[in-house]
Amino acid sequence: AAVTNPFGEDRWWMGLDDPFQGLATCHEIVNAIDSGDPESYECALPVHMDGSCNGLQHYAALGRDRVGGKAVNLCNENEPQDVYIGVMEEVIRRVAEEASKELDLDESTSENWTKADRTAWKNNKAAKLVNGLIDRGVVKRTVMTSVYGVTYIGARTQIQEKIEEKLEAKGHDVDEIEPEINAACGYLATMTMDVMGTLFTGARQTMDWLATCARLISQQGQPVAWLSPIGVPAVQPYRQNKPYTIYTLVQKVVLTNSSENLPIHKSRQVSAFPPNYVHSLDSSHMLLTALEMDRRGLTFSAVHDSFWTHACDIDEMNGVLRDCFVDLYDQPLLEELKRTWELRYPTLNFPDIPERGDLDLNEVKKAPYFFQ
């Protein structure tokens, strides 16, 4: 019905995330069946495979983190792992535990509370407000962006959007309880980040090492620079660009001095480096895959960690992207990064690289849900 009469009474396809892509897929399926030989039908739609929380996949590979690698489908498992569900379940458990507490505190005597009492009261009140509202969608964006440097405020905003939707659906006036929602979502954001650090200790250690090295470099007044695995030089551009506003009779004009002679923005150099370094790794993986697909004469397109090709070539692309990922991480990437910095900044004492786990990256070649 969606193909023969898409704007009839049954418009189920309009409820899809990408309705016209869904409708186009329906057309291709019907055309393939009607052709009489579906296996020989030339499909015009690209088939895409996406990484499973790709940033965490790269961190797990860097640190050979078996626990983290299993959570993001680097291992040969019979069932797909959902990192968002794993984080959600632990957050739900902690929130429910906190919400079940009955504190022996009298709000009328709050002026006599200790700092610990106030924290306990705020956390308990926050947990009671959001208990029962947490699902996969509430934590997904924060988990996904945690490896790309999401801030506390960013995480709270992401979570608050979802929580307010749920409260409104239950008939609450969110404007009336806005301060309570802000506090509760801040509590949830902190907890989600804590759970991430607990579940992905290898990723956290690598992230902290990268940030520490970036801090040492920025303290010298130098921008953080490195060479990507495919040989592309990268220099972080963050400097103290002070904007100047010029008011005219017609409008105001904002000018920014982007000179490379300006002092660097030290805090941004530090906070941005771990996600930028991981971006240089995932882009290297994408380009290595593209080069190998081109060498084989196969069509390939990609956006970040979403790789596309024709339906008839999807199995071959799956093999290529796995081989390229393993080849990428067979290189001593962090050792090369540290060696380059030691040559460039001989007076700096960079910390040792975090100890690696026992993840065998060759499992990726057999991991069915690595990209799916």
Q: Which of 18, 34, 50, 330 is catalytic?
A: 50
3-state secondary structure the chain: CCCCCCCCCCCHHHHCCCHHHHHHHHHHHHHHHHCCCHHHCCCCCCEEEEECCHHHHHHHHHHCCHHHHHHCCCCCCCCCCCHHHHHHHHHHHHHHHHHCCCCCCCHHHHHHCCHHHHHHHHHHHHHHHHCCCCCHHHHHHHHHHHCCCCCHHHHHHHHHHHHHHHHHHCCCCCCCCHHHHHHHHHHHHHHHHHHHHHHCHHHHHHHHHHHHHHHHHHCCCCCCEEECCCCCEEECCCECCCEEEEECCCCEEEEECCCCCCCECHHHHHHHHHHHHHHHHHHHHHHHHHHHHHHCCCCCEEECCEEEECHHHHHHHHHHHHHHHHHHHCCCHHHHHHHHHHHHCCCCCCCCCCCCCCCCHHHHHHCCCCEC
Mark whether 115 is an active-site residue. no
Mark whether 242 is an active-site residue. no
Q: Which of 70, 82, 140, 282 is catalytic?
A: 140
Q: In tens digits, what is the pLDDT along the chain, a chain of 372 residues? A: 778 888 888 888 998 889 999 999 999 999 999 999 988 899 888 999 999 989 999 999 999 999 999 999 999 999 999 999 999 999 999 999 999 999 888 888 888 889 998 999 999 999 999 999 999 999 999 998 888 878 889 999 999 999 999 999 989 898 999 999 999 999 999 999 999 988 888 999 999 999 999 999 999 999 999 999 999 999 999 999 888 899 999 999 999 888 888 899 999 999 999 999 999 999 999 999 999 999 999 999 999 899 999 999 999 999 999 999 999 999 999 999 999 999 999 999 999 999 999 999 999 999 999 999
Mark whether 140 is an active-site residue. yes
Q: Where are the domains of the chain?
A: 50-65+203-366, 83-199
- What is 50-65+203-366's CATH number? 3.30.70
